[in-house]
Homo-oligomer: A and B are copies of this chain.
Amino acid sequence: MANIREVAKRAGVGVGTVSRALNNTGYVAEETRQKIIDAVNELEYTPNELAKQLFRNRNGIVGVMVPNLEHPFFAKMMRHIEMELSKHGYKCLACNTIGIVNRQQSFMDMLDRNMVDGIIACVDSLADFEGRKGRAIVSMDRNWGPDVPIVLSDHGQGGRLAAEAFLRDGCRKVVQFTAGRKSETTNLRHEVLAQILQENQCEVITIGTKWDALSYAYNKSIVLQYMDVIQEADGLMTNDIGAMSCLVVAQKMGIKVPDQLKIIGYDGTEITNLTYPELSVVVQDCGELARNCVDMVLDMIDGNEPQTMRKIVPVTWKQGGTT
């Protein structure tokens, strides 16, 4: 645990010279540099990042909040965000917000305490954003008001793609499960789906749930609870997990998919490859979402105003065997 002063002493130079040599900043004679390198090796010196961080008032860490790290969609986002951050030399501090009171607030506080340089938040409520205008915060897929830039999928397009698939298959009565709060940006998919289907004389039943809790058991219980509604429908759309739950329950009850019921998953995470038939899905481009979140937050950390307050990323359709 040698420090820079010991290295300097051993090399017979001043600490400033050591710092310059090690950081390649400013001039240092080749001979001197070599003496310093030797001293570093002999002492097994490694710079203390904590001291650098204090000096710079930065620590190169971005906090990433999601409701649940285990949820396939958020896990995927987290993977992409972490890799993208690492490309830029940043580290990723991960945080589950569900199930821990005040977790979100304490995470936001870390910005003030300089424990993170910025935050990417994929969570619902806007708790404690007040007074943090100008801080490096980017929201993923949730509207936190006019002061927080948001990166999100084109859910209007998502709703349209799903509607077109249902119409293509001649559906007359489609059920959709919505998640979380009304008036969320993410509910646009359901509004667009309903509008397009209704314009085409297809009935739409919209059922509100709180899937976001991501209890697989809860998902299934909801499906079971509404099974009578589903049985009378010929189409269904909800998030991946919900859709897969429906598929399983429908199969168990002898409903033929896709003959009697078309099912569309929203998100398109990898797990939708693991059913039979494979789920037809609207795919969110997590790589691109992550890239935009990271670019924006790093730009803000550098002190710039957000280039845009709203970045929309296209979604794609992936045909499976359930439509």
**A residues neighboring B (CB under 8 Å):** 46-51, 53-54, 57, 59, 61, 68-70, 72, 75-76, 78-79, 82-83, 86, 91-96, 99-100, 103, 109-110, 112-115, 216-217, 220, 241, 244-245, 247-248, 251-252, 270-271, 273-276, 278
Contacts and interface: CB of A to CB of B under 8 A. Distances in A.
Interface centre among A61, A245, A278, by most chain B C-beta atoms within 10 angstroms, is A61
The DSSP consensus for interface residues of chain A is helix
B82 A78 contact: no
23 contacts: A48-B114, A49-B110, A49-B113, A50-B53, A51-B54, A53-B54, A54-B54, A61-B93, A69-B75, A70-B72, A70-B76, A70-B270, A72-B72, A72-B75, A83-B99, A86-B100, A93-B93, A93-B94, A216-B270, A217-B273, A220-B273, A274-B275, A276-B276
Question: How many chain copies?
Answer: 2
Nearest to A75: B75
A119 to B, nearest CB: 13
Given A48-B57, A248-B274, A276-B247, A79 B83 contact: no
B216 A273 contact: yes
B94 A94 contact: yes
